[in-house]
Amino acid sequence: MRKSKFIHCIDSHTAGEPTRLVIDGLPVIKGNNIKQKTKYFSNKLDNYRSILTGEPRGHAPMHAAIYIPSNSKKSDFGLILMSALGYLDMCGHALIGSITSLINSKKLSFKNSKNLIKIETCAGIITVTTNWNKKNIKSISFVNQKSFSIKEDFIINIPEYGKFTVNFAYGGLWYIIVNSKEIGIKIEKKNLNKLIIAGKKIRMKINSRIDKIKSKIQLPEKFPQTLFFDEINSKYGRNFVTSDELGFDRSPCGTGCCARLALMYSQGKIKEKQNYIQKSIIDTSFNTRIVKVSKNGNILPEITGSAYITGINKIYLDPNDTIKNGFFLYS
């Protein structure tokens, strides 16, 4: 990647959630692997994160991915993943959006007949399958790194909602998982603000008591996101993910779907290889399933979704612009 007057990007959405893929125009990002390059970018080039995802060029839910040629024989290329919140080990919708953008812009060619791609992320190597409808890309399937739940039925009490149970799971990112029926709020667009407020109150409660959660696995310093779900039936359900600064996810959330599958498996609500459709608050969907279960109960989840290019973008930094590096405003 070479620095230029313009940052060349391809914008897309995956089930309604945006991704801005950078393909050229940034300074050299040093490091021997994606973890090192992400750390270097975070320490030395973080202003580009606000340029790419912040206002006036972006907005709160904007995610960005930087295409990195691979230094490893184990992967075809790497992605540095980021959002307004910071840097992400893994992001399902951004992965699907980035690959779709690379394929449709003819910037990605296949080295094998099975349409398999290996992508290096901070969460590990992600295996991706491209699904085609003749010459057009139909959808992207990826097998995530291991996902797991760590605690079942942790009881909390919030005056507005009473006593209810929450669970915790990891699907590439950490989630507090709550059955929306337990707080009396259905996942519908008309309840958007109610869900956002409830999600924030739940995070505040849990993060103030995080030392009370018993786990053999190291927990995050704080849980960044709340995932609400509605169990519709054995074939599909609905997800809604909310976090403080980003507000909420328009898609069913890729890593959230993985965490949800891990919890469902631990509760005996889904079997290995069983298909389960997870829908969003705007009624878009991901097809999900568990492809493998380890002896300790960890799962390898597979997510399938579709993305669409929304624009080809040349970002310009005017040296006379006092806010050229972007900014974030949150309510």
DSSP string across 12-76: EEETTEEEEEEEEBSPP---SSHHHHHHHHHHH-THHHHHHHSBTT--TT-EEEEEEE-SSTT-S
Choosing from 9, 253, 257, 258, which is the catalytic residue?
253
Q: At residue 181, what is the residue type?
A: K
- 3-state DSSP assignment of residue 197: helix
| Cross-strand pairs, 301 | 290
Q: At residue 178, what is the residue type?
A: V
Closest CA to 330 of 248, 239, 252, 256: 248
**Residue 91 annotated as catalytic:** yes
For residues 176 and 156, the answer to whether their CB atoms sit within 8 Å is: no
**Residue 253 annotated as catalytic:** yes
- Residue 147: which residues within 8 A CB-CB, separation 6 or more? 169, 170, 171, 172, 258, 259, 261, 262, 298, 299, 300, 301
| Cross-strand pairs, 246 | none
Handedness of CA 209, 215, 219, 224 (dihedral sign): negative
Strand 17-24 to strand 63-69: parallel, antiparallel, or no bridges (unpaired)? parallel
Distance in angstroms (rounded) separating the CA atoms of residues 215 and 217: 5
Choosing from 91, 122, 257, 258, which is the catalytic residue?
91
Residues marked active site are found at 91, 253
